[in-house]
Structure 1
Amino acid sequence: MKILNIGLYLLVSLSLLCSCSGADDSDNDMDSFISALMDEMTLEEKLGQMNLVTGGDIVTGYVMSNELEQLIRQNQIGGVFNVKGAEKILELQRIAVEETRHGIPLLVGADIIHGYETIFPIPLALSCSWDSVAVERMARISAIESAASGINWTYSPMVDICRDPRWGRIAEGNGEDPYLSSILGPAYVRGYQGKDMSGKDEIMSCVKHFALYGAVEAGRDYTTVDMSRQRMFNEYLPPYKAAIQSGAASVMNSFNLIDGVPAAANKWLMVDVLRDMWGFDGLLATDYGSISEMATLGYAPLTQASVKALEAGTDMDMVSSGYLNTLRESLENKNVSIGMIDRACRRVLEAKYRLGLFKDPYKYCDTTAATTKVFTAEHRRIARDIATETFVLLKNNNQTLPISPKGRIALVGPMADAGNNMCGMWSMTCTPSKHQSLKEAMEEELKDVAELIYAKGCNVYADETTEINANGIRQITRGNDDVMLRQAIAAASKADVIVAALGESAEMSGESASRADIELPDVQKRLLKAMVSTGKPVVLLLFTGRPLVLTWEDANVDAILNIWYGGSEAGAAICDVVFGHVSPSGKLTTTFPRSMGQVPIYYNHMNTSRPDSDPNVFNRYQSNYIDERNEPLYPFGFGLSYTTFAYGELRLDKTTLTEGESIKATINVTNTGDFKATEIVQLYTHDIYASLARPVKELKGFERITLNPGESRDVTFSITPDMLRFYNSKLEYVWEPGEFEVMVGPDSEHLSTCKFELK
């Protein structure tokens, strides 16, 4: 360590030694330390702390290694992202600590969205487990592996509510429901950050994208959002608030316009709501290049955009370098104040302090840790178990599933032997060569007991130019569709049952992967129709990062198991479920439409003034389509099991509710089948009359229960007035007296209903 830095580290050591009497003292020590440090910093050094750049290691960026090192030496970087490996990160941290005037350590970020090298199911799949314990465990393992590899900041969780499956980034979130996402978002935060980020395996989380990004028009990335503030507060903002108030130390704002203003410059949203109303005092960063992109949006060129973002409380500029290169001029022109710059710089430094980087700048730079903490047998076992919870059984005629491991089984489809495709989007830190494909896992499962006959069957799309290729990393090798179809038909002719592994390739969901047509791609549907025409039982294993239109598949295929993208252990987990070792228990967190014309479609919609009275016929002058039903193909909360569950009558212990009291709603659930299985019992409410129209139903509770064959259990929910609150026209969070419905059942459509009065 350079002699110039000794005073800095003596100061932080003294401040940490004094922080022994509680959080207030610790905050005072942090304030004293950072104030002393900032008193010694130049303007350029402060602006450098507010600059976040990509290292270009995981995803190609504009800063390469030599340039990056020089920028660090010149105090022009406060953080870097997309650098993989503790050795590389150690060298960057060493330069920051030992070759700069103040030795301020770096934040090192990455998109650790659903695992580091042990990859878990994508977040949309994880949400279908309805298991916050599993989500927290996933985030904990992700933090352990990331920290062992030098990373101290993850850009997760994404809690954007999305009701348009065309949007590729629906795969990154928790679905369409604000209540469920408000449960799962804090689970991510707890898993990443641990108790207080003091441990060497605890990293900083970043809640994104603030705000409303999941509601972009037409399901296209980077475009506008326009909605009432009542809708924001009641339907879209709750998951952000829950994750932030659970202790998330950082937030990333979104690309989209809100009220015509880019989110990163939206002072009402970033200051009035996030800072003042919700009390967030952590680090606020932009998304990739969003300050410079304000010019393209027609809002402001880079210099003015940087001023607007700083005014709105945005602390760190990702990639645009607007703060670094323009704020000195804006300060000289009195368009910003030094106080505004100091405020942003302070929050960057506070994040580093809370991570313990001033106490130990090499906290995350143990170059031996990854050998014992990354992609371990225990982590892989947990990933496999969690993956089985996320698969959703959509159809199972004549108990086609589970498959008996005997005879001849045909495995066809472009996803069947694509090990590098199992992890899905946002898994740049994975090592695909370590992952089994579905074919390899099935061969292992069926060894010596059954014959597996494999044929690829088709490409992802007939047209090569239609295939979306994420930097060439996961491209599935192409062949001749006609030849492959004949090979698949030949394989199927020898088999007792056909398993078709179809759907989206990994790069077809995620950022910049919106789809206008969300049916199965052309040649894949041709292959599936050929398999169905054999007359043999067909199981569709559906790989996808979004809801798809499956109307033909539902009408013609014997069984459909939606496996999303199950992660590095997906192959083994799929075998666990397909061959009956585990009964599927996942429930949908997004509505599956019958056709694209229904989109956006979601369960917790408002009623219409003329609701359709009979879905089986067209009713003129009622709210419907002349060429499609209103109902979805598969509703929110839906998911079958290998067993069956019988629900009894819903019972309330009383029918009047007053403040300070609760109503107990109880229902009996019985496993009436032959498999031990988990059921997710769901509670919904409906405010019948209110000062603002309320949704036809809203999820307000759920419970996962596991029952043996023949076992029954009472499931009881407590309903309190707080559960019935909403934001009224004045954005006051209130409950209103009146009549309510309470509904309990296995999904959002099949429900038992009772009424009660709130007085």
Structure 2
Amino acid sequence: MYASALRRSTLFVAIAFFTLASAGLPLLNPVFAAPTTSEGNDVAASRVVEGLLKKMTLEEKIGQMSQVALNQPQTISPEEQARQGVGSFLFITDPARINHLQHVAVEQSRLHIPLIFGFDVIHGFRTIYPVPLALAASWDPKVAEHAQHMAAREARAAGVNWTFAPMVDIARDARWGRIMEGAGEDPYLGARMAEAQIHGFQGETLGGPDSLLACVKHFAGYGAAVGGRDYEESNISDEQLWNVYLPPFEAAVDAGSGTLMTAYMDLNGVPAAGNNWLLHDVLRDKWHFNGFVVSDWDAVKSLTVHGFAADDADAAARAVNAGIDMEMTSHVYRDQLAAAVKDGRVSQATVDEAVRRILTVKYRLGLFSSPYINVEEAPSRMVTQEQRTASRLAAERSAVLLRNENQILPLKTSGTVALIGPLIDSKADIMGSWSLAAHQADSVTVLDGMKRYTASHPALKIVSTVGVEIERGQPSIFDEQFASPKPKFATDDQRQREFAHAIELVKSSDVAVLVLGESQDMSGERASRSTLTLPGKQEQLLEAAVATGKPIVLLLMNGRPLDITWASSHVAAILDDWYPGTDGGNAIANLLFGEAVPGGKLPVSWPRTVGQEPLYYGENLTQIPDAPNTRYWDGSSAPLYPFGFGLSYSTFTLGNLKSSASTMHTTGSITMSCDVTNIGKIAADEVVQIYTHQRAGSASRPVRELKGFKRVTLKAGEHQTVSIKVDAQELAFWSPQTHKRSVEPGVFDLWVGNSSQATTHTTFAVK
């Protein structure tokens, strides 16, 4: 088949020679020409794109501005749409089908413009990695970068060349289902993870064989949806927008993201998909973004649902004039845009600029020079041992140890362990949401991983049962593609006997590990919750297990913080493994038995109850500064576990804080150093974190703001001096008084430690 593809490519060379030569454009070999990012290549891209624009009809331009979802019914065949010059196809992952459609577009369309194939490669393609919130919990941008690089390799091998990730929305409300898809609550950590993922997906430059076009989303403010309800409006002050919600987007743009996706919701009353201020004033004029903007699913058509656009024709005009270059899935551009141009509501120049951006990105991605893939090679690049190893290591580094009384963890390698819970052997759930291209058969469950481990430890015995089962009880958007297993206990009697059986196993074992949390469809899009309790009868199972008096380990599998307040004072050990991915079961076994040591830290403040949400550490003090954690008369307002918190199997000391200077200029920097010592008996990781607070300025500032971190590995007894530079520009903020972002002179507090409650303190001044 690949040889046949090369023969067809030879035919295209002749066609392209005539088409491009007649336009005075450089001749491109579609198979062997390698794109570069040099200035000369930019000139070549401009010549190709401008030449095509001169030859394109209005209808062909609108075709390039349209993306068609092939998981939806089509009135026109995909082949015919490719011939007509559609710009992109969505939700297709079969390499042979992708190659076929690309051949149709390149060889049978009038201008031979290649397609771009999009798919949600959020935390893996065929091999699944920990969900993005878990990757953020590693507090190691290199982990996130490598995970997305490995995902890009698989996706490109299948012919997918565009992902709709990373999601960089700041999320401070655990009720919101898509909190699992981002980096949590903090703009600094979010920005570092955004940069890492862009570099992982795209590589150093677009156009390499493993380079996957990134699409930073959702611009902007989606994570602040009212009540944590998905698709709800967001009402964000200018101060919060500029200082909290926009910085990760700006970091992703600066890192070179080739595309950007708009958000679904109204931002302060104006839909993001029609928001000229966001898409022009901020994105283009202030940040100089030169990629193209795509709407979210049906978001252009939905401008009528918002009550913003009068009808589809009005929606098309408003969206393109605001700055949306490509419409995802709905056909408002295709059906309405030509008329809008002809009657003057949209200028030809606006359409040309949108198409120019799209074609330029396609050129930079290498699609004009290498549009096809090696179909025969694709299967051999999926779920390789290298991919599995990377998935396991990412899961090990993302786990967060929340409690470990009497050092119950790591477990002994002898005796009987009861493995209990509805998630112990679910191949779907261990991968989490957005695992649409994965195969369940590839997954290593917790039970699989424990069995593998016991195979080499004959003194260790595993007994297991689910105890209880859980299901969402409402349709999920993933039900058709990748639903969690349905409960198998049909009657109350069966459920009661299973519950009793689980407790008997706990009683007869030396220690019990309860794997509890959420099924994968309980987090993600359309997966907001009004409570954070353990779904179903899991809490009752946990309490009954603890009542036996046996040592209990709670192993969480989840995409958001859950209400584990009772467990935090009654369960001996709590390990959060999030949704760890394809090789998650092996990672969990390694963590439980000490082959790997947890070193992750929380990227979110963990609530005691849902009534605390939204909850975050960087609040402003407004009154009674000596009692910030007693805002409720009926309970503490402090988090159960603070942002940045995470234990280890070892113990560390941090001290001897030093600064390279006591003052710095508004354009300078200082370097903070502290001594970190592993006083435990095993090698382990610690994350050194720096927080600052500006004492006075033109506006109130948060009590603490993360401004630097570094994860280090130390052997038992090892000492290391860790240095972290704090740039003055990181201290800048947008002031509602001055309406600009600047570094304001003044005195700053600085803390160094291993969570947002760090106590080692000093001060410095900015002049």
Aligned AA (1:63): Q
Q: Please show how residues 577-588 of structure 1 align to structure 2 within 5 Å.
A: 577-588=591-602
Gaps of 5+ in 2: 1-10
Equivalent of 1:26 in 41, 44, 65: 41
Equivalent of 2:339 in 309, 319, 329: 329
Partners of 1:15 and 1:33 within 8 A in 2: no
Counterpart CA distance in 1 for 2:467 and 2:378 is 39
Partners of 1:127 and 1:174 within 8 A in 2: yes
Equivalent of 2:241 in 232, 235, 259: 232
Aligned-pair CA distance for 1:612: 4.8
Aligned-pair CA distance for 1:639: 0.2
Which is further off, 330-339 or 240-249? 330-339
Q: 1:51 — aligned with what?
A: 66
Which is further off, 190-199 or 736-745? 190-199
Counterpart CA distance in 1 for 2:476 and 2:263 is 27
Equivalent of 1:678 in 679, 685, 699: 685
**CA offset digits 1:169-192 (Å, max 9, x no partner):** 010101111111111111111111
1:178 aligns with 2:195: no
Equivalent of 1:208 in 200, 212, 217: 217
Aligned AA (1:444): R
Counterpart CA distance in 2 for 1:326 and 1:472 is 32
Equivalent of 1:279 in 269, 283, 288: 288
Equivalent of 1:561 in 564, 575, 582: 575
1:97 aligns with 2:106: yes
Partners of 1:4 and 1:102 within 8 A in 2: no
Q: Please show how residues 619-634 of structure 1 align to structure 2 within 5 Å.
A: 624-634=631-641
Aligned-pair CA distance for 1:470: 2.5
Equivalent of 1:431 in 439, 442, 455: 439
Aligned-pair CA distance for 1:449: 2.8
Q: 2:528 — aligned with what?
A: 514
Q: 1:155 — aligned with what?
A: 164
Partners of 1:4 and 1:101 within 8 A in 2: no
Counterpart CA distance in 2 for 1:4 and 1:15 is 11
1:67 aligns with 2:77: yes
Q: 1:548 — aligned with what?
A: 562
Partners of 1:154 and 1:204 within 8 A in 2: yes
Aligned AA (1:81): L
Q: Please show how residues 186-197 of structure 1 align to structure 2 within 5 Å.
A: 186-197=195-206
> Secondary structure of the equivalent of 1:471?
helix
Equivalent of 1:113 in 122, 125, 150: 122
Aligned-pair CA distance for 1:9: 5.0
Aligned AA (1:611): P
Aligned length: 743
1:445 aligns with 2:477: no
Q: 1:305 — aligned with what?
A: 315
Equivalent of 1:402 in 394, 410, 418: 410
Partners of 1:414 and 1:476 within 8 A in 2: no
Q: 1:223 — aligned with what?
A: 232
- Pick closer, same or farther for the CA change 1:653–1:103 going to 2, 3 Å: closer
% of aligned pairs identical?
39
> Secondary structure of the equivalent of 2:534?
coil
Partners of 2:16 and 2:27 within 8 A in 1: no
Aligned-pair CA distance for 1:369: 2.4
Equivalent of 2:353 in 326, 335, 343: 343
Counterpart CA distance in 2 for 1:127 and 1:357 is 32
Partners of 2:667 and 2:729 within 8 A in 1: no
Counterpart CA distance in 2 for 1:84 and 1:610 is 57
Counterpart CA distance in 1 for 2:462 and 2:476 is 28
Counterpart CA distance in 2 for 1:661 and 1:192 is 32
Equivalent of 1:8 in 16, 19, 25: 19
Q: 1:702 — aligned with what?
A: 709
1:738 aligns with 2:734: no
Aligned AA (1:573): A
Partners of 1:481 and 1:523 within 8 A in 2: no
Counterpart CA distance in 2 for 1:349 and 1:717 is 41
Counterpart CA distance in 2 for 1:546 and 1:488 is 26
Partners of 2:129 and 2:431 within 8 A in 1: yes
Partners of 1:15 and 1:29 within 8 A in 2: no
Aligned AA (2:48): F
Partners of 2:555 and 2:574 within 8 A in 1: yes
After TM superposition, where is structure 1 displaced by more than 6 Å over at least 4 residues in a row? 15-22, 466-469
Q: 1:369 — aligned with what?
A: 377
Counterpart CA distance in 2 for 1:523 and 1:467 is 21
Counterpart CA distance in 2 for 1:310 and 1:216 is 25
Aligned AA (1:718): K
Counterpart CA distance in 1 for 2:661 and 2:64 is 59
Gaps of 5+ in 1: 619-623
Counterpart CA distance in 1 for 2:520 and 2:486 is 13
Equivalent of 1:714 in 721, 735, 745: 721
Q: 2:603 — aligned with what?
A: 589
Q: 1:35 — aligned with what?
A: 50
**CA offset digits 1:107-145 (Å, max 9, x no partner):** 101000111111110000000001111111111111111
Counterpart CA distance in 1 for 2:239 and 2:623 is 20
Aligned-pair CA distance for 1:151: 0.5
Counterpart CA distance in 2 for 1:466 and 1:297 is 24
Q: 2:400 — aligned with what?
A: 392
**CA offset digits 1:680-716 (Å, max 9, x no partner):** 0000000010101111000000111111111222222
**CA offset digits 1:32-72 (Å, max 9, x no partner):** 2111112111111111110101111xxxx2338x7222222
> Secondary structure of the equivalent of 1:699?
strand
> Secondary structure of the equivalent of 2:512?
strand
Q: 1:652 — aligned with what?
A: 659
Q: 2:277 — aligned with what?
A: 268
Which is further off, 604-613 or 441-450? 604-613
> Secondary structure of the equivalent of 2:537?
helix
Partners of 2:35 and 2:369 within 8 A in 1: no
Equivalent of 1:459 in 458, 469, 478: 469
- Pick closer, same or farther for the CA change 1:18–1:557 going to 2, 3 Å: closer
Counterpart CA distance in 1 for 2:677 and 2:602 is 21
Aligned-pair CA distance for 1:469: 6.6
Counterpart CA distance in 2 for 1:373 and 1:22 is 27
Q: 1:621 — aligned with what?
A: none
Aligned-pair CA distance for 1:21: 10
Q: 1:524 — aligned with what?
A: 538
Counterpart CA distance in 2 for 1:139 and 1:468 is 24
Aligned AA (1:183): R
Root mean square deviation of aligned Cα: 2.0
| TM-score, normalised with respect to structure 1 | 0.95
> Secondary structure of the equivalent of 2:513?
strand
1:666 aligns with 2:681: no
Aligned-pair CA distance for 1:415: 0.2
> Secondary structure of the equivalent of 1:517?
coil
Aligned-pair CA distance for 1:30: 1.6
Counterpart CA distance in 2 for 1:468 and 1:114 is 18
- Pick closer, same or farther for the CA change 1:131–1:63 going to 2, 3 Å: farther
- Pick closer, same or farther for the CA change 1:81–1:629 going to 2, 3 Å: same
| TM-score, normalised with respect to structure 2 | 0.94
Equivalent of 1:608 in 591, 616, 622: 622
Aligned AA (1:670): T
Counterpart CA distance in 1 for 2:239 and 2:478 is 39
> Secondary structure of the equivalent of 1:329?
helix
> Secondary structure of the equivalent of 1:681?
strand
1:130 aligns with 2:143: no
Aligned-pair CA distance for 1:26: 2.3
> Secondary structure of the equivalent of 2:150?
helix
1:470 aligns with 2:479: yes
